Homo-oligomer: A and B are copies of this chain.
Amino acid sequence: MYNEGGHTEGWHGDGWISNFPGLHSLPPDIVATLVETSRIARLPVGTRIFGPGQAPDAFLLLIRGTVRVQQVSESGREIVLYRVSAGDSCALTTACLMGYEDYQAEAVAETDVEAVAIPRATFDDLIARSPDFRRFVFTAFSHRVTDLFRVIEEVAFSRVDVRLAQRLVERANDQGRVDLTHQQLAAELGTAREVVSRQLNEFQRRGWISTSRGAIDLVQPNELRRLAAAP
Contacts and interface: CB of A to CB of B under 8 A. Distances in A.
Contact of A141 (B71, B74, B141, B150): B141
A134 B124 contact: yes
A98 B142 contact: yes
Nearest to A139: B99
Copies held by the complex: 2
Given A104-B149, A131-B124, A131-B128, A142 B96 contact: yes
A153 B98 contact: no
B157 A156 contact: no
Contacts of A190: 152, 156-157
Interface residues of A, number: 42
A129 interface: yes
B141 A148 contact: no
Contact of A73 (B101, B141, B143, B156): B156
B141 A99 contact: yes
Interface of A: 71, 73-75, 77, 79, 81, 92, 95-96, 98-101, 103-105, 124, 127-129, 131, 134-135, 138-139, 141-143, 145-146, 148-153, 155-157, 190, 231
User: Which 8 pairs between the two chains have the least Cβ-Cβ distance?
Assistant: A99-B142, A73-B157, A156-B190, A148-B148, A98-B138, A99-B139, A95-B141, A96-B142
A185 to B, nearest CB: 15
Contacts of A92: 145
**Binding site of A, secondary structure by majority: helix, strand, loop or mixed?**
helix
A48 B100 CA distance: 31
A128 B138 contact: no
A141 B134 CA distance: 15
A131 B123 CA distance: 12
Contacts of A156: 71, 73, 77, 79, 155, 190
A92 B143 CA distance: 11
A198 to B, nearest CB: 19
A99 B143 contact: yes
